[in-house]
A and B are shown apart, each in its own frame.
Chain A
Amino acid sequence: MIDELSNPDIPVPDELKASVTITTLDKIYNWSRRSSIWPMVFGLACCAIEMICTAASRFDISRFGMEVFRATPRQSDLMIVSGTVTKKMVPQIVRLYNQMPEPRYVIAMGACASGGGPFKEGYNVVAGIDKYVPVDVYVPGCPPTPQALLHGLIKLQEKIDSQSLRDVRWYKSETNEPVPVPVLGPDLMDPRQYQLIKQRALQAAAQAEA
């Protein structure tokens, strides 16, 4: 751990090396965050089973400090979207995401969560959760094996390592707007698209008349 954190630019006298480490604030901040990413207990479909296997004894997610699966979004840092996102479910997912405190991360696990997967053509399937919440890491596969998910988690740690206190969004003065929660109408409606929906529906009606 000491090697991981120490800053090679600042020399430490030999006799103090055993007890003193000089590091940057960014490094220790990121190190502590990446070593205790708490995911949310959040399983959608088949991929959730592989996620549970990742957490079980064979692949043992606790080696990364991530075994503390939290059943509430308020205490979690990471949402693993594990499975097919349906239109009926997406309002809840967005709401859960809005309830998570910053810094928060999202992993799209598997083909379905990333881009719709084999069910993409279906009428009740959302072609990728990234249309609604920002995704940090995509893990391909159908389903990704536990090792593939672990690789995705390591990628997420890399991402955390690359962040700096100076420019992370959650310490900026401007407030973070929550993602507007989609609404279930005759079909799924994104509040950001209402104008477009109205316009297209009018066009379609005009076309039908013509």
Chain B
Amino acid sequence: MYGSGILAGLGVTLKHFIDSYVDDLKFLGQRYYNPASLNQRQGTRGKGVFTVQFPEEKLPTPERFRFIPFLLYDEKPDGTHDDRCTSCGICAKVCPPQCIWIKRSNDPVTGRPVPQPAAFYIDIDICMNCGYCAEYCPFDAIKMDHDYELASFDRTSAHIFDKQKLDKPVAYYASLRPTDYAAEELVRAEEEAKKAAKKADAASKAAAPVAV
């Protein structure tokens, strides 16, 4: 029958229309602003309307989500910050659009390079969020942030991130990416233990002849 194709199509739209109320009944007024409902709506079993009511409710960012990079520091017991970055420059070298600038600091007395950056800049108007810096950093010192709410009225001052703006505590990272953090800490601990064992070994070897 001519027109049956259109009618079948309209049937699909009608089904979509009805489906959009199914969840309403299921969650009875709790459909929005409710994490359980959000997960249900956004998953493979969600039916009907799956709108996220941004900004009141936000789609949770997955752990591996990449946005702008940031730098990690360990907090020492006395409250001072210990940068993980050693200014080795690998992130600046691997960065595809070359948006990272690092100034290595030199020891004022010896003039030798110190494993700490004097300055660290990322131009977020160039950054392509590829995540290479985080992937290839051997010290787990630079990671990709989850904060995407960065819209601003002015870019000349706000869009070159300096070290102060990039620095974030390790605890923040641990809260963003718990699984990655746990795995990396495990590797770090192992390496520390190896280093310590080597040191102790060397120390005992060095100490031995003295005893004789």
Let me know if chains A and B touch directly in the complex, using CB atoms closer than 8 Å: yes
Q: How far is the CB of A161 from chain B (nearest CB, A)?
A: 13
Q: How far is the CB of B146 from chain A (nearest CB, A)?
A: 10
B153 A115 Cβ-Cβ under 8 A: no
A141 B129 Cβ-Cβ under 8 A: yes
Interface residues of B, count at CB 8 A? 31
Q: How far is the CB of B152 from chain A (nearest CB, A)?
A: 5
Given contacts A117-B125, A117-B128, contact A138 B159 (CB under 8 A): yes
CA distance A130 to B152 in the complex (A): 14
Nearest CB in chain B to that of A54: its residue: B54
Q: Is B186 an interface residue (CB 8 A)?
A: no
Which of chain B's residues have a CB closer than 8 A to the CB of A151?
A: 54-55, 148-151
Given contacts A115-B123, A117-B125, A117-B128, contact A138 B151 (CB under 8 A): yes
B54 A115 Cβ-Cβ under 8 A: no
Which of chain B's residues have a CB closer than 8 A to the CB of A98?
A: none
Q: Considering the complex, which residues of chain A in the window 1-28 have a beta carbon less than 8 Å from any beta carbon of chain B?
A: none
Query: Which of B50, B125, B153 is A58 in contact with, Cβ under 8 Å?
Result: B50
Q: Is B170 an interface residue (CB 8 A)?
A: no
Which of chain A's residues have a CB closer than 8 A to the CB of B159?
A: 114-115, 138, 140
Q: Is A81 an interface residue (CB 8 A)?
A: no
B150 A117 Cβ-Cβ under 8 A: no
Q: For the complex, would chain B's binding face be called helix, strand, loop or mixed by DSSP majority?
A: loop
Q: Is A139 an interface residue (CB 8 A)?
A: yes
A148 B97 Cβ-Cβ under 8 A: no
Q: Considering the complex, which residues of chain B in the window 22-74 have a beta carbon less than 8 Å from any beta carbon of chain A?
A: 49-55, 58-59, 67-68
Which of chain A's residues have a CB closer than 8 A to the CB of B54?
A: 59, 147, 150-151
Q: Is A190 an interface residue (CB 8 A)?
A: no
A138 B153 Cβ-Cβ under 8 A: yes
A120 B97 Cβ-Cβ under 8 A: yes
CA distance A126 to B149 in the complex (A): 25
Q: Is B155 an interface residue (CB 8 A)?
A: yes
CA distance A137 to B67 in the complex (A): 18
Nearest CB in chain B to that of A127: its residue: B125
CA distance A136 to B152 in the complex (A): 9
Interface residues of A, count at CB 8 A? 35
Query: Can you list, as one digit per residue, whether each of A100-142 has a CB less than 8 Å from chain B (1) or not (0)?
Result: 0000000010010011111111000000101000011111111
Q: How far is the CB of A84 from chain B (nearest CB, A)?
A: 11
Q: Is A91 an interface residue (CB 8 A)?
A: no
B155 A114 Cβ-Cβ under 8 A: yes
CA distance A121 to B128 in the complex (A): 13
Nearest CB in chain B to that of A152: its residue: B151
Q: How far is the CB of A82 from chain B (nearest CB, A)?
A: 14
Q: Is A63 an interface residue (CB 8 A)?
A: yes
Query: Which of A59, A118, A130 is B96 in contact with, Cβ under 8 Å?
Result: A118
Given contacts A57-B49, A159-B153, contact A118 B126 (CB under 8 A): yes
Which of chain A's residues have a CB closer than 8 A to the CB of B149?
A: 147-148, 151
Q: Is B127 an interface residue (CB 8 A)?
A: yes
Nearest CB in chain B to that of A145: its residue: B148
Given contacts A111-B125, A114-B159, contact A137 B52 (CB under 8 A): no
Nearest CB in chain A to that of B152: its residue: A138
Nearest CB in chain B to that of A64: its residue: B54
Q: Can you list 23 A-B contacts (CB < 8 A)?
A: A57-B51, A58-B52, A59-B52, A59-B54, A63-B51, A114-B125, A116-B126, A118-B126, A119-B97, A121-B97, A130-B155, A137-B151, A138-B151, A139-B150, A139-B151, A140-B124, A140-B152, A147-B54, A148-B151, A150-B54, A151-B55, A151-B148, A159-B153
Given contacts A118-B128, A137-B152, 18 further A-B contacts (CB under 8 A): A57-B50, A58-B52, A59-B51, A60-B52, A115-B123, A118-B97, A128-B155, A140-B124, A140-B127, A140-B150, A141-B67, A141-B68, A142-B128, A144-B148, A148-B150, A151-B55, A155-B151, A159-B153
Residues of A within 8 A of B (CB): 57-60, 63, 108, 111, 114-121, 128, 130, 135-142, 144-145, 147-148, 150-152, 154-155, 159
